[in-house]
């Protein structure tokens, strides 16, 4: 009676199964292997800038509403003059400022610079990009540091100065302020013959966003004299702060300066210009 040699049959079947699985999986492996990888772009973003760190200058009018008298935003101008494409002609340059404002785009045939501005302090992740006539695009990320200066000038003599308000909340989630400093000057104008003057007792009180007293100082200022109060802190709480100025005695004038600073996290301006070749 003939016997089936199972060992020999198994040797013939196993290589066949392995070959079939290899043929079936090869196309799938090709699909899975490269889709998530970034491919070199045909557009090379080469950029320069006038600066990557700037300061907002805010001048406030002395009233109960803390009305803005003037606000000079921090501006940054990027130059794409050396940007090029391997395939087509560069058609547009653009900048996404990273603060929620719309993308600023210009026609490359008309100009090679793009300017963006910020009215809120913070560290911003801006994206610089360019498109070409063949539908290719390239982009690079640039960090910008925007700091803040406040000038509050109450030149009208008063015995009830308005509070000085300031907000330490950053305009982005990239970083929080490193430091806040203020300097407040108080002057007791001299009296005159028909209206003699006298001393003034001035108390400065800084309150954080929870309305908790952070610091206070009281000074007596003689008639015709002046004095000042300085305060600062690292890593301030985010939110609305205020400094109250209380006066007992003769009227005074006040002038307050405040700065909000960040760690120097901005991108260095490339020299020679940097090229972003991945999208």
pLDDT tens per residue, range 106-130: 999 999 999 999 999 999 999 999 9
Is a pLDDT exceeding 60 seen at residue 44? yes
Query: Are residues 213 and 206 in contact, defined by beta-carbon separation less than 8 angstroms?
Result: yes
Instruction: Report how far residue 29's alpha carbon sits from residue 94's, in angstroms, rounded to the nearest whole number.
Output: 37
Mean pLDDT of the region 240-246: 97
Query: How is residue 80 written in tokens?
Result: 């794409």
Give the pLDDT confidence score for residue 196 in this predicted structure.
76
pTM of this prediction?
Answer: 0.82
Instruction: Report how far residue 120's alpha carbon sits from residue 57's, in angstroms, rounded to the nearest whole number.
Output: 10
**Residue 219 CB-density burial (10 A; 0-12 exposed, 13-18 middle, 19+ buried):** middle
Mean pLDDT of the region 199-225: 98
Mean pLDDT of the region 50-72: 88
- DSSP structural state of residue 73: -
Give the pLDDT confidence score for residue 37 in this predicted structure.
58
Instruction: Report how far residue 255's alpha carbon sits from residue 46's, in angstroms, rounded to the nearest whole number.
Output: 45
Report residue 273's pLDDT band, with 50, 70 and 90 as the boundaries: low
Report residue 223's pLDDT band, with 50, 70 and 90 as the boundaries: very high
The answer for residues whose C-beta is within 8 angstroms of residue 179's C-beta and 6 or more apart is: 232, 233, 234, 235, 236, 259, 260, 261
The answer for residues whose C-beta is within 8 angstroms of residue 270's C-beta and 6 or more apart is: 47, 48
> Which of 189, 263, 180, 279 minimizes the C-alpha distance to 226?
189
> Which of 263, 141, 246 minimizes the C-alpha distance to 186?
246
Query: Are residues 137 and 101 in contact, defined by beta-carbon separation less than 8 angstroms?
Result: no
Give the pLDDT confidence score for residue 276 in this predicted structure.
53
Report residue 61's pLDDT band, with 50, 70 and 90 as the boundaries: confident
Give the pLDDT confidence score for residue 197 in this predicted structure.
83
Report residue 9's pLDDT band, with 50, 70 and 90 as the boundaries: very low
How many residues are present in the chain? 279
3-state SS, residue 45: strand
Instruction: Report how far residue 5's alpha carbon sits from residue 269's, in angstroms, rounded to the nearest whole number.
Output: 77
Q: How far is CA 273 from the centre of its chain?
A: 22
Which has the higher per-residue pLDDT, 45 or 64? Answer: 45
Which string of DSSP letters, residue by residue, matches 182-230? EEEEEE----BTTB----EEEEEEEE-TTS-EEEEEEEEE-TT-EEEEE
Give the pLDDT confidence score for residue 41 in this predicted structure.
86
Domains, the chain, in order of start with CATH, read: 40-53+72-146+266-278 (2.60.40.10), 147-261 (2.60.120.380)
Report residue 266's pLDDT band, with 50, 70 and 90 as the boundaries: very high
């Amino acid at each position: 009676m003939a016997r089936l040699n199972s060992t020999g049959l198994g040797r013939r079947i196993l290589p066949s199964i392995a070959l079939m699985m290899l043929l079936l999986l090869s196309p799938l492996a090709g699909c899975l292997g490269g889709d998530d990888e970034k491919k070199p772009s045909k557009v090379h973003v080469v950029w320069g800038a006038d600066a990557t760190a700037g300061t907002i200058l805010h001048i406030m009018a002395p009233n109960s509403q803390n009305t803005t008298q003037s606000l000079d935003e921090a501006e940054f101008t990027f130059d794409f003059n050396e940007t090029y494409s391997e395939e087509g002609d560069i058609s547009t340059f653009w900048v996404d400022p990273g603060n929620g404002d719309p993308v600023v785009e210009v026609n490359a045939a008309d100009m090679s610079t793009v300017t963006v501005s910020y009215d809120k302090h913070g560290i911003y992740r801006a994206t610089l990009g360019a498109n070409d006539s063949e539908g290719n695009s390239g982009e690079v990320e640039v960090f910008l540091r925007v700091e803040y200066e406040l000038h509050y000038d109450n030149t009208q003599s008063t015995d009830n100065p308005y509070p000085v308000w300031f907000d330490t909340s950053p305009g982005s989630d990239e970083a929080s302020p490193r430091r806040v400093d203020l300097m407040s000057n108080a002057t007791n104008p001299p009296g005159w013959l028909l209206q003699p003057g006298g001393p003034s007792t001035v108390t400065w009180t800084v309150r954080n966003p929870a309305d908790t007293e952070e610091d206070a100082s009281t000074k007596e200022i003689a008639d015709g004299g002046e004095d000042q109060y300085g305060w600062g802190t690292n890593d301030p709480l985010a939110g609305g702060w205020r400094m109250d100025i209380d006066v007992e005695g003769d009227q005074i004038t006040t002038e307050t300066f405040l700065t909000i600073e960040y760690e120097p996290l901005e991108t260095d301006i490339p020299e020679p210009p940097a090229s972003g070749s991945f999208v």
